[in-house]
Each structure stands twice: as C-alpha cells, then as structure tokens.
A and B are shown apart, each in its own frame.
Chain A
Amino acid sequence: MNNKEQTKFEKIVSKAKKFLSGKITRKSFLTILAAGVAFLAFSSNTAKKAFAQNTKSIAPRKRREVVTQYDLTAVTGEDPEQITRKSVELLGGMGKFVKTGDVVVVKPNMSWNRTPEYAANTNPAVAAAVIKMCFESGAKTVKVFDNTCNDKKLSYENSGVMKAAKEAGANVFFMDDWKYLPAKMARADALLQGWPVYRDAIECDVFINVPIAKTHGLGTLTLSIKNMMGVAGGARSQMHWEMDKKLPELIDFVSPDLNIIDAFNILTAGGPRGGNLADVVRKNTVVASTDPVLADSFVAKTFFNIEGMSIPHIKRSFEFGLGQQYTPKANIRTEKI
C-alpha cells in the first residue's frame, strides 16, 4: 500500500471531521453565512430563469415575394417523386424559393399513428422529394417536424416520413412544449392573439407546406390551410372551437412560401384519422401553388367535388385576402406524365 497517499487522505478526513465537530467562531460563522447567501441568491436566480415562462413573443413570418409563371400546377403520374419534381419545376423550380444557405422548414402531415397506405399522413416519397429539391437548390438545413395528434415517436416512425426525410438528409425532430412562443398577431382582435406557435416554424427563411388531401369531420376537408395546425401548440382540442375563424389567422401568421398538396392517395371518408383501406382512393396527383386558398379550393373541387367556398375556413381565408378562389379561368397548368 502507498503510505504517503493514505496519510494525505487521512489528513483530509480528519480536517473534515474537525470542521464538522469544531466550535463555531465568528469568522467561520460569517463565512458560512456569506457562502449560504451567495448560494441561495445564485440558485434562485438560475432557477427563476430556468423555470420562467417565456414572455418573448414572435412576430408574423414574412415570406419572400416570388412571381411564378402559373398560379397553380397539378401533375399526374405514376411515380410520386417524379410528379412532385415536375409540379415544382413548372412553377419555376425550387431555386425560385430556396436560395443558397437558407434554413428551410418542410412541414408534412405526420400527425397520426398510421402507416402510409392509409393515407392519413403525407406520402413519404413526396416529402422526401421536396427535401431533396431543397438541398439541390442549396439549402443549408431542412427541418421537418409536426405537432402530432397521437404519440410523437410512433407517428413519426409509422408514417414513414421520418425515415424518408432522414435519408434525404433532413433534420427531423420532436416538437417540445417549451419551444412554443406566444404569437403576436397583426390584428389586435385576433382570436389567436398570444396562442403558442412553434419557434422554428417562424424563424426560418423558407416554409414549405406539404399536406395530404383528406376529409376531416369538422373542417370538411383538411388541406394546406388546415395543415398549419401542426405548428400551433397549446390546448389544441380547444382550437376546434370556431376553427374556421382561427385557421385563416394562423396561415396568415405563418404564410408558407409554397404549398405542395399530396393527392397521390386521398382519403375520402373517415378522416382525418382514417383506418379503412376502402376509403383510400388513388389519384396520382401532386398540386403545387404559392396560394393556399387557390390550392385548397382547386383540390376540393377536382378530387372531392366540393365547392371550395362552401368550406367555412377556406371561404374565410378568401375573405381575409389570403388568395384567390378557384375558377376554371384561373392561371392553372395541368400535366400528365
């Protein structure tokens, strides 16, 4: 045994014992007091900071002005990746939206614990194609997230989007409760004034909205406007009260640069969760537009045979001035591959 070390160790031990059992002098008392006060002040300060409610609020996102050749493109074909690429190319290419070094958010719908064939979540191939195009146009990072309805991990994994997006090189992560900040809406009397919205969705250069076309019990259809629910936090089931007034405010707040609606497989009944393969209809189409109202009303009319203006939240968005409604005269390009 090493004797020197042992004696050193024993010295330390005896000192500690002395300190614990020794008399308290004025000096030692004052030292302990000062140390205690300093410790408490420091710990309470840090604790306050750590546990404080975030009072910072976020301002609406501003999107870049982009002029495209067509207001809307719809491409039909057998390969989801190919038709997604073609639809964006017809708008002028991803390079129009994504510049070199941009931080891009791709927001698919992956909020249900269902496998891709049930058409409750965005087709993984479509989402992956969008991510690949972003990287090809020089994006620095692509973030992919969604505030899920079912369990986060299971929804991400079973929807297949997580795997496809990771393979395409995107940064897929779970949304944390504390990263939502209260929204500062442009209009003071907005219903969603102060509603928590995810920070990363607003603090980005480009926001690409990639919903799936499906029915919804309350909103009739869930398309690009309804897909914005996935960046909002808080008590989301309470958001369903007067949803048709809240959704236009939300999409105005986030103002996505590009809406790419996946209508490869659409869910015609039992939405948004689905579960019956008989309700899934194959349409082989991807619709791309910068205008969410036009995109939604086009998809509603073409694939569900519902007038866009008969759906309350789309009608209100139109009245808000968020876009044009679909008429056969609109500047639309359809193509078949």
Chain B
Amino acid sequence: MNKIKILRIAVQIISFFLISASFFLLSFPLKFINARDFFLSSPSLVAFAALAAQYVILSFLIVLIFVILALVLGRVFCGWVCPYGTVMDCFAFIVKPFKKWRENAPSKMLMSKYVLLVFFLALAVLGFQIVWLFEPITVFNRFLSLSFYPFINASVDKTFQYTIMNYNFGEGIYQFLRVNIFDARQMSFAYSFLFFVFFIIPVLLVLYKRRFWCRYICPLGASLGILSVKPFVKLNLQKCKLHCGKCENMCRVNAIRRDGTYIPSECVMCMDCVTLQCRQIEELKLKSEDNDKNKGVTRKQFIFWGSGVLAALYMAGRKVYASGNSVSSPVIRPPGSISERKFKQACVRCGNCMKVCVTNGLQPVMTETGLDGIWTPQMDNYIGYCEYNCNACGHVCPTQAIEALSMEEKMKRRIGKAEIIKDLCIPWRDGISCLVCEEFCPIPDKAIKFVPEIINGQQVDVPIVDLYLCIGCGVCQNQCPVEGRNRGIMVRPL
C-alpha cells in the first residue's frame, strides 16, 4: 500500500476519535475542547444559519480554515477528516467482500448536490434554514450526543449494576467511568431513535454506491467542491490511452473520467488511485499544467445553477415561507435564546445544548413550535430544570442562537413564569403544609413566598409566586411532590 494512503487512513482514524471525543465528552463545566469551535463551523452551516437569521456569526473566522484548506488541497476535509465519511468508509470496508461496486464515467447526477446547495441557499436567503438536516457533521453530532451517548451510558450502567450487585466486582472501574466519561446522571432524550434513523440511512446507502451521500447530497461537500475547482495541489493524472478502466472503477466518488483525467472538485484525495501504481498516476504535484478541458462555467452548469436560482426567485415571489413575526414561543427556550423566529432559523439542531444541559431538562421539540421548529431545544420541567449556576448551553451553541451569557446575566435572565395550580397544590387543596418549592427556589430573596391562609377550616402557609423575582427556572415544578405531569406549580413560557 502506498505510504500516503496509510497516512490518510491514520489521519482518518485519529480525527474520527478526536472529533467524536470532543462531542462525546462535552459537559459542564467545560473542560475539554469546546465542540462548537471548529467542527461545527463548516461553511455551509454557518453561512446559511447567518443568512437565515440575518446576523453575523462570530465563528465565521473559523470557517476561513475550511476555506483555505479547500483552496489549497481540494476536498481533503471530506476524504481525510470528516467523521461521517470515515463511518461510511468503514462500512464500505466491512461489506467489501460481499459487494462489488461498478462505476462508469462521472455521472451528471454529481451536480445534484450543487443544485441542492443552491436550493438551500435560496431558502436561507428567504429566512428558512433547512441545511441542518443534511449537514454531515451536524447529523453525526446529533446522533452521537442524543442517541448513541444515552444508549452507551445505559448499557455500561446496566452491566456494572449487574456485576456490582451480584459479584461485588468493578466498582472502581465504574466510578472512574462515571466521574470522568459520563455525566453524573443518565441522560435520555425524546424520540432519540429518530436521530439514529437519520444517521444510519446515509451509511446504508453505501450498499448502493460508495460515498453516495458525499457524491450526490452533502451540502458541506458541495460548498467545499465549489472552492476546490482549481486547488493548489493536484493529483498528477495524465491523459491515458489504455482505457483499462481500473482507476475509473475504483474511485469512490466517481471523479475519474474515461480518459484518465479527474474532476478536482469531486476528488476527496483518498489516494486509492495512487495505490494502483499505474504509470500514469504517480505522485502529487504542485500546480500541474492546466490539462483540464473544464475552464470556467459550462453550459450544463449554468443551466443547473440557473434553475436553482429561478426556483429561489419563484419561492420568493410566492412567499412560501411565512411564519409570522412571532417573538414569543409556545415552549420554554433555553436562557439567552434570541427571538423565536430568528431562533428557529439560526438553530442548526446539533444537539450540543441538550447534551450539555446538566439536568437533562433540554429536550428536542417535535411539532409544538411548527414544522420549521422541529428538533429545536425546549426546557421540559418534568424531566429537568434550568440550573441556576449554569450557563453552559449558550457557550456551546455554534451559531449563537443561544447567547453566551455570563453567569451574572444568566442568573437574571427570565425564561418563563411560574404559576400555582390551586387545584393540585397540596397546601392550597388539602391544607397540608408543604414547602418544597420554596426550599428549592434558587433566587436569593425567594420568588416563592409563603402566606398564612385558612384552607378547610385550618390555618396553613400557602405558596404564592412573586413574578417580579421569578426567572422561570422550573426547579419548583420539577421537584413538586404532586405526581404526574401536571404539578402543583407549573412554569409557563413567556
């Protein structure tokens, strides 16, 4: 095997584990590298979120790293770094003995990802951001944080529960894992199986074509492809008269033409063709002589791009997207969330805020906020609450949909308002004293006050809410001893 291919595989494995670890070990207080900083700053993601929500996202600067990488080395990110691509390559390697892929000359379908990208771009300009559904790193992170992580945590828990309780074995290993790898509590997320389904479909498409997703759909691949039409470093693929078809057939992204030349914007630099040890393909070359026929935009490309733009204009004219100017949300949003309409557009559904939420209170929304708000975070006070001394969610958000608040600001930021349900509250209903909500209220001056009242003929202290002080953290609802989803005190969205 060629040395450079071994290097590529090594880089792939290392970056897969590094990226996974940066997502997997994300927890508050933030100690490890902050997962939002690099890997969730891909150009298509950040640009589209910024366009849709119409504000500048600071991690634009980090996008420059992607851009420079693409301009110099082509789509090397896709072939060498992308963790999702690594998963697909791994799967392809596993099914290799049972499956023979046949490739022909580059298909016209390769343009489909660019058309999709233009379509997403048009939607983003109109304020409807959907790129999160297809962005590979987001899909990967969402699956890892919200589906895989709870699953593996529960499996480890159950295994050690069995060994510790029955054989008194493994206590030390278990405590180490619990303190260092997993959070202190078992997390669970609503509909977490869905994230697995969305993750596994592109991987299974490998059975049809290797790197199917990267070829035809991936918006990140498309945006890097545009940048790497003429990369600085190129493969030295000469025109070849042999037409043996070997290189053409082995290319996983269908980038090699019949005559032996290749399309730089499709090539992920996997170095498979270099390992053929064909005389024609030998080494990397800096700035090869321009032997590409492809100069500038072809007619076909123009038609494809033009159709995308036309579709966008059509949509604009019809005002397909109109969600109103709602500022308030029907659900409780994390502290520091920007106004509802912008929030739904800026949020890329990476799952970081839900993963990092210490009480597991942040849960994915399904359709409560409309179809365009699917999988955005909401605070579910039945499961958890907003911890007073914690501002983690804003600091891990890659697109600033949740503001990065300082601790002092966070402690004053109002996310909801508590309301006592007098039909359910134990002192109000039965006249039995109960002070749990007041005990848990984190506000220094206590937003829940107790006043004497005569209930059922006897005097008892009953709770009332001071709305001037209440920030809606929801710990009162979470800890209320009334059983069931409806508690004696409920926090309503603002």
Answer yes or no: are A and B bound together in one complex. yes
> Quick one: closest A residue to B443, CB to CB?
A275
A158 within 8 A of B: yes
Nearest CB of B to A237, in Å:
4
Contact (Cβ within 8 A) A178 B161: yes
Beta-carbon contact of B439 and A218 below 8 Å: yes
B435 at the interface (CB under 8 A from A): yes
Q: Which of B29, B186, B433 contacts A157 (CB 8 A)?
A: B29
> In the complex, which residues of chain A have a beta carbon less than 8 angstroms from the beta carbon of B480?
237
By a CB distance below 8 angstroms, the chain B residues around A156 are 184
Q: Enumerate B414-457 residues with CB–CB distance to A below 8 Å.
A: 426, 432-436, 438-446, 450
Interface string of B370-389 (1 = CB under 8 A from A): 00000000000000000111
Q: Which A residue sits closest to B158, measured CB to CB?
A: A50
**Which residue of chain A has the shortest Cβ distance to B159 in the bound complex?**
A50
Cβ-based interface call for A240 (8 A): yes
- Decide yes or no whether A26 CB sits under 8 A from chain B: no
Which B residues are in CB contact (< 8 Å) with A270?
444-446
Report Cα–Cα, A238/B436, bound state, in Å. 9
Instruction: Tell me the residues in window 177-215 of chain A with beta carbons closer than 8 Å to chain B beta carbons.
Output: 177-179
**Assembled-state Cα–Cα distance A329/B432 (Å):** 38
Known contacts A238-B481, A270-B446; decide if A217 and B390 are in contact (CB<8 Å): no
Is B184 touching A151 in the complex (CB atoms < 8 A)?
yes
Asked if A39 is at the interface (CB within 8 A of a chain B CB), the reply is no
Q: Mark B347-367, 1 if CB is under 8 A from A, else 0.
A: 000000000001100000000
A residues 264-297 with Cβ under 8 Å of B?
Answer: 270, 272-276
Chain A residue with the shortest CB-CB distance to B387: A151
**When the two chains form their complex, are residues B175 and A275 in contact, meaning their CB atoms are under 8 A apart?**
no
Task: Let me know if A237 and B184 touch, CB within 8 A.
Answer: no
Which residues from B are CB-within-8-Å of A174? Answer: 178-179, 184
Asked if B387 and A235 sit within 8 Å, CB to CB, the answer is no
Provide the residues of chain B in CB contact with A238, threshold 8 Å: 481
27 pairs of residues in contact across A and B, judged by CB atoms under 8 Å: A9-B97, A50-B162, A51-B158, A113-B387, A150-B387, A151-B390, A153-B183, A153-B358, A154-B389, A173-B178, A173-B179, A177-B186, A178-B161, A217-B438, A217-B450, A218-B439, A235-B481, A237-B479, A237-B481, A238-B481, A240-B435, A240-B481, A241-B434, A241-B481, A273-B439, A273-B440, A275-B444
Chain B interface residues toward A at CB < 8 A: 27-29, 97-98, 157-159, 161-162, 164-166, 175, 178-179, 183-186, 358-359, 387-390, 426, 432-436, 438-446, 450, 479-481
Contacts A153-B184, A235-B481, A240-B481 known; 20 new A-B pairs at CB < 8 A: A46-B162, A150-B388, A151-B185, A151-B358, A153-B27, A154-B387, A154-B389, A173-B179, A176-B161, A178-B157, A218-B433, A218-B435, A237-B480, A237-B481, A240-B434, A241-B432, A270-B445, A272-B439, A274-B444, A275-B443
8 closest Cβ contacts across the A-B interface?
A275-B444, A152-B184, A217-B435, A237-B481, A153-B184, A218-B435, A151-B358, A276-B444
